[in-house]
Amino acid sequence: MSFKDIFNIDGEVKESAHARVNLIGEHTDYTGGYVMPTLLSFKNTIEITENNTNEFIVYSQYFKEKKAFNDFKKSTNNEWVDYIKGCLHIFFEENKISSRYLNIYISSDIPLERGISSSSALCVATLKALNTFFETKIKDPEIAKLAKKVEFNYIGVSGGIMDQMVSSIGIHGKAFFMNCKNLEYELISFPKNWKFCLIDSEVQRNLRNSSYNERFAELQEAERSLGVEYLGGVKKQNFQPDKFDNNTIAKRAKHVVFENDRVINAKKNLIENNIYEFGNLMNESHESYSKDFEASTLDVDLIVKRSVECGALGARLTGGGFGGFTVSLIERNNFSHWYSKILNFYPAEKIFEVN
């Protein structure tokens, strides 16, 4: 069903935002470190018109559901429409404009709860559509910060700014390297012989209910133990595990400190077209994410192992952890070999080409 089928008129404004895959740099964003995601072709599209009723009417093509409301109170049972209410609430509050009632239509092909930031893409697309509709001229980095506010302040999920920034500013086919402390970023092209592929572990993850918030708190404890504002400022060579009373906190911190070093090396290797070194860094990143950060699952570890055995140069779990997609790096001229071998383990519907 299209916008017209639902609302009987054509949409006036249309904006989209893409999901992302993080190539390397996990749980480093909210600790002032480095990340390197890239956009996927999966996306959310938001269409808007004004309506002459006294309520907001939102239709989700994904859930095939229509919701109407005239206040921005969050539901008590985590409904999808909360993200839209949150965006409207934050947008009107920040811009000090009085709200007008709107028809909002959401279409999306982003698989949910798979670690590719479907929620950030939804918030970024909604805020961009509101920005266009109300002609507020908010710049893309500010859209990202508003989207983060929606997730952090309104929805109540801990997290960093990586997903919103890449979804708002990123370019398809380029790596988005970012220093999360000052939000400076670089867009870097992939060499022609590099190919990334996702494999869906089908282990659904839910940021709210998973151990994401626990890891977030553990890293804050690590920062307190070291007496630093951000773990991202700690260099690998200065990392002293004996500064921690608690071994678990030491392992979590080690993952972040070494992961930052890997992201910086990964960027250098990407620019210099060192595909083997980049692949090794992805493998080391997964090992650390699984053993020290304990954010993987047995199914995910098996996918990563098989992908490398089938010929990937590197493979790792991507995103917040505890299930979702894995990402593999494959040399393009070896792709059909890797693909035919991986099909012995996983069906084609679970495998997605990134570039």
> What is the binding site for ligand GLA (CB under 6 A)?
22, 26-27, 29-30, 117, 159-160, 162-163, 319-320
DSSP-assigned letter for residue 116: S
* Least spacing, CB of residue 57 vs ligand GLA, in Å: 29
Q: Give the residue numbers marked as catalytic.
A: 163
* Least spacing, CB of residue 198 vs ligand GLA, in Å: 15
DSSP-assigned letter for residue 333: G
And the tokens for 201?
A: 């572990």
Q: Return the number of the residue (29 or 47) whose C-beta is nearest ligand GLA.
A: 29
Q: Return the number of the residue (103 or 117) whose C-beta is nearest ligand GLA.
A: 117
What are the strands of the beta sheet with 325-331, ordered from one edge?
314-317, 325-331, 194-200, 351-353
Q: Return the number of the residue (103 or 260) whose C-beta is nearest ligand GLA.
A: 260
Q: Is residue 217 helix, strand or coil?
A: helix
**Spatial distance between the Cα atoms of 209 and 3, rounded to a whole number of angstroms:** 33
Run of H or E including 104: strand 102-108
**Spatial distance between the Cα atoms of 313 and 310, rounded to a whole number of angstroms:** 9
Q: Return the number of the residue (30 or 176) whose C-beta is nearest ligand GLA.
A: 30
Residue among 327, 326, 191, 186 at smallest CA distance from 264: 186
The residue count of the chain comes to 355
Handedness of CA 57, 109, 162, 239 (dihedral sign): positive
* Least spacing, CB of residue 161 vs ligand GLA, in Å: 7
DSSP-assigned letter for residue 67: E
* Least spacing, CB of residue 162 vs ligand GLA, in Å: 5
Q: Return the number of the residue (275 or 295) whose C-beta is nearest ligand GLA.
A: 295
* Least spacing, CB of residue 244 vs ligand GLA, in Å: 21
